[in-house]
């Protein structure tokens, strides 16, 4: 009897140890493709007229269990006050702290907005955006979309553009990136 109880205790301890090990494991995925190359140059020219050279960052900003890279295009403010900037991040999800590799199932992949309305968009496995600011001083659209193990963030800021135009612009950029995945 004692031997059977001891065997059951050992099996339960081993199962618990395996479960804890599996849920706390971090598996970094392969890196995503460079995001600047997934967006047509003409799109940068239209959304950020007169932009300087594109700035891209590699995986130095990646969180545990993810790999990412970014692309930034910005122009200098013109005399009439018009300016624009476009920042795009492409994140590839792996395993971390019990979160699986599917983007839509990860905690924090689709951020919630405090004191702002998050609008849902039918794109990929899930997408949505939040708008802040105003057209005169600068309208900012933060757009996020999940597709499989990929997460795309788009932050588009434009002065002098309407809200529908900035939202459509951010959506088009996200669609452009997702179309290559």
Domains within the chain, CATH numbers bracketed: 26-178 (3.40.1000)
- pLDDT for the residue numbered 123: 93
Greater pLDDT, 126 or 1: 126
What's the whole-number mean pLDDT along residues 81-102?
A: 83
- pLDDT for the residue numbered 134: 80
Does the model's pTM come out above 0.85? no
Chain segment 90-100, per-residue pLDDT in tens = 999 888 776 77
Report the half-sphere exposure of 83 (CA within 13 A, side-chain side).
Answer: 12
pLDDT higher than threshold 70 for residue 20: no
DSSP 90-152: EEEE-BBTTB-S-GGGSTTSSPPPSSSPPEEE-STTEEEEEEEEETTTEEEEEEEEEETTEEE
pLDDT higher than threshold 90 for residue 66: no
What's the whole-number mean pLDDT along residues 157-167?
A: 89
- State the CB neighbour count (10 A cutoff) for residue 143: 26
Beta bridge partners of 56: 71
- pLDDT for the residue numbered 81: 64
Rounded to the nearest integer, the mean pLDDT of the chain is 82
């Amino acid at each position: 009897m004692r031997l059977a109880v001891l065997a059951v205790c050992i099996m339960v301890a081993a199962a618990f140890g395996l479960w804890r090990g599996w849920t706390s494991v971090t598996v970094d995925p392969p890196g995503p493709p460079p995001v600047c190359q997934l967006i047509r140059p003409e799109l940068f020219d239209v959304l950020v007229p007169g932009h300087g050279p594109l700035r891209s960052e590699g995986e130095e900003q990646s969180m545990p269990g993810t790999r990412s890279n970014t692309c930034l295009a910005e122009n200098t403010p013109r005399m009439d006050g018009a300016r624009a900037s476009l920042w795009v991040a492409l994140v590839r999800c792996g395993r971390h702290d019990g979160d699986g590799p599917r983007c839509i199932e990860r905690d924090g992949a689709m951020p919630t907005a405090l004191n702002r309305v998050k609008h849902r968009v039918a794109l990929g496995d899930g997408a949505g955006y939040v708008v802040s600011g105003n057209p005169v001083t600068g309208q900012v659209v933060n757009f996020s979309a999940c597709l499989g193990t990929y997460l795309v963030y788009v932050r588009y800021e434009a002065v002098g553009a309407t809200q529908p135009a900035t939202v459509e612009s951010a959506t088009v950029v996200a669609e452009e990136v997702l179309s290559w995945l």
